[in-house]
Amino acid sequence: MPTIDVDRDTAHEAARHELAKPIYPRPSLFDRLYQWLDDQLYRLTQLASTVPGGWFTVTVLAVILVVAVVVAVRMARRAMRVNRSDHQLFGAAELTAAAHRAAAEQHASRGEWAAAIRERLRAIARHLEECGALTPVPGRTAGELARDAGLEFPAVSSQFTDAAAAFNDVAYGEMPGSPQAYRLVADLDDRLREHAGGRPSATAPEAAPQTWTPVR
């Protein structure tokens, strides 16, 4: 009986087609994944045997591909963060600074820090508009507030930047917020209201001189 020589590729394809017939039970998801990985490994082995340098060249190309994919993913995520990182301050409702401040305190009393931070920065923005320090701008974002207010109040420009970052962190529920972040925004609000007639200084006011006499 003559011997039939079948090369490796032909045998591999013949086995795959045979197992694909309906008389055989359908493979599970795990089996299909295993088969796919086996096919890829087989193709990689075939490629390594034909490429100059063999496995060394294939390994270098694989490392370059992985690095390229990682860099592309990071760049895409960074672009998405840039596009989503600065959110509008106000919604459809127009409230006074006092109303936003009261809402912020109510949220804070219930431990709803994200909502409290949003309302307190809105109170700051509305307060600056009400006192004439800033011109109302439709669609103003937290970052734009920090920029515009920082120019008007350079002594506390960094606090505006931090407050805007806290707002953006919790915008649309992306982060839960914290008491510390709320206190940062509330302190800036209190500081601006204390200096409603002027510009807040970069440092805290000096302590009042001691007027009492120590008991001997």
Q: For 44-64, how does the pLDDT look when each residue is reduced to its tens digit (9 = 90+)?
A: 777 777 777 776 776 777 788
Confidence tier at 189 by pLDDT (50, 70, 90): very high
Summary mean pLDDT of the chain: 78
Q: What's the pTM value of the predicted model, to 2 decimals? A: 0.53
> What is the per-residue pLDDT for 188?
96
CB 186 within 8 A of CB 120: yes
Burial class, 133, CB count within 10 angstroms (exposed 0-12 / middle 13-18 / buried 19+): middle
Confidence tier at 209 by pLDDT (50, 70, 90): very low
What are 159-181's pLDDT values in tens digits? Answer: 999 999 999 999 865 678 899 99
Distance CA 198, CA 195 (A): 5
The total of other beta-carbon atoms located within 10 Å of residue 160's CB is 27
Burial class, 187, CB count within 10 angstroms (exposed 0-12 / middle 13-18 / buried 19+): middle
Average pLDDT over residues 103-113: 95
Distance CA 144, CA 134 (A): 11
Q: How many residues does the chain have?
A: 216
